[in-house]
Amino acid sequence: MPDMLKDKVILVTGGKGLLGRAIVNDLRAKGAIAIKSDLFHSGKLDEFDLHCDITSMDSIKEAIAWLVNRFGRVDGWVNNAYPRTKDWGADFLDMQEDSLKKNVDWQLNSYILCCQQIIKQMIKQKSGAIVNMASIYGVVGNDFTIYKDTGLTPPAAYPAIKSGLIGFSRFLASKYGELGIRTNVVSPGGIFDHQHAEFVKRYEEKVPMKRMGTPEDIAPAVSFLLSEEAKYITGQNLVVDGGWTAI
């Protein structure tokens, strides 16, 4: 449906990342004015690329103000950025207090503050849709057998952050639904990104669809939840995982 999101103004945080690029491309293919927001943008702002640091309240406010000034509204907001410390992935028993606090602040609190600020604008419009990106590990526990001897260590804070985000999104859906503002979550399963070969093999042996996901598997779910096709859907967590959480 090429006109599914025709002329809707939608910002995607972390728009230059693996998932972010696919989400932006899918939104644009369906007619949206999709803004690729990222910490690593530089240079002048335009309607397609926008520098935004979601760990800075000033940067969040500036991004929203620019969008409203340029387009007059913001129809959708996708919290997809994934800021993290250099020691992200350390074993739970080796995790440092400062690192834990920073990652929770950057990955959960920043999403909350983005929602706070964009909802202020959506209240003025009496409409808007938010999609928060979570994970299957906000729904089910980690299967540590697939990581054995691969050098990969699932971050302990990750499930706490992602499950918290799912609960917070339900809070927003309940509080602001009457104002025409919808908030939903997309929880991807494992996305192939050239991980350790043994990890990929074990993952694909377990998942019912027998392959890891791709960014292009996830993006259409985001587009759907932002569209009028989902106009009566709010407070939901759409899991896109090839059946991982079904078993």
| Backbone angles phi and psi of 157, in degrees to 5 | -75, -20
**Domain ranges across the chain:** 9-144+154-194+216-240
Categorise residue 240: left if φ over 0, alpha if ψ from -120 to 50, beta otherwise: beta
Cα–Cα dist 226/125, whole Å: 16
The three-class DSSP label of residue 33 is strand
Identify the pLDDT of residue 2.
73
Name the DSSP class of 191. Answer: B
Question: What does the pLDDT look like over 150-164, one tens digit per residue?
Answer: 999 999 999 999 999
Q: What are phi and psi of 119, to 5 degrees?
A: -65, -35
Q: Which pLDDT does position 48 carry in this prediction?
A: 83
Distance CA 219, CA 186 (A): 9
> Which single residue is written with the structure tokens 């906000």?
138
pLDDT tens profile 215-244: 999 999 999 999 999 999 999 999 999 999
SS (H, E, C) 149-182: CCCCCCCCHHHHHHHHHHHHHHHHHHHHHHHCEE
Residue pair 17/11 in contact (Cβ under 8 Å)? The answer is: no
Q: Determine the Cα–Cα distance for residues 169 and 2; give it in Å rounded to an integer.
A: 28
Task: Name the percent of the chain in helix, strand, coil, to the closest 5.
Answer: 45, 15, 35
Residues 126-147: pLDDT tens digits?
999 999 999 999 999 999 999 9
Residues 6+ apart with CB under 8 A from 178: none
Query: Which residues are known to be catalytic?
Result: 158
CATH of 9-144+154-194+216-240, one of 2.40.50.140, 3.40.50.2300, 3.40.50.720, 3.30.300.30: 3.40.50.720
Give the model's confidence band at 122: pLDDT under 50 very low, under 70 low, under 90 confident, else very high: very high
